[in-house]
Homo-oligomer: A and B are copies of this chain.
Amino acid sequence: MIYITRKEHFNAAHKLHRADWTEEKNAEVFGKCANPNWHGHNYEVFVTVKGEPAAETGFVIDLKFLSKLIKERVIDKLDHKNINMDVDFMKDKMASTEILTIAIWEQLEAEINAKGCYLHCVKLYETENNFVEYFGGK
């Protein structure tokens, strides 16, 4: 098995906030991330696919296809957007890095696995100091 990874990035605004909590409780639990007027990040997303290299091409997956898929299903929906307000696949979800990572996995899994290989990991950097990895519901 070979694991191949493609990195893409997007810039987005978000806040960590529950409408069913007071501002005080939001601030207490989420700290600076609860700022009602939003803040934002330069996110980096790493998508890892595993499989066997094809005999003819030496490819596990065509990176041109993978990059285009990530752009259409993830980057175009998140880049220069507000994660809480603008993103269909994050509707009614917490805009935490953890939940966003799982949602990105769900955007990609079926189309990657239809290519005869497997989505192995989605890794999402919120800052250079914090990142999340998800390996699917296993």
Contacts and interface: CB of A to CB of B under 8 A. Distances in A.
Contact of A4 (B64, B93, B130): B130
| Contact count band on A | 35 or more
A80 B129 contact: no
How many identical chains are in the complex? 6
B135 A1 contact: yes
A96 B59 contact: yes
Provide the main secondary structure of the chain A interface.
mixed
Nearest to A48: B133
B32 A98 contact: no
Interface of A: 1-9, 11-14, 16, 18, 29-33, 35, 37-42, 48, 53, 56-60, 63-64, 79-82, 85-86, 93-99, 101-102, 127-135, 138
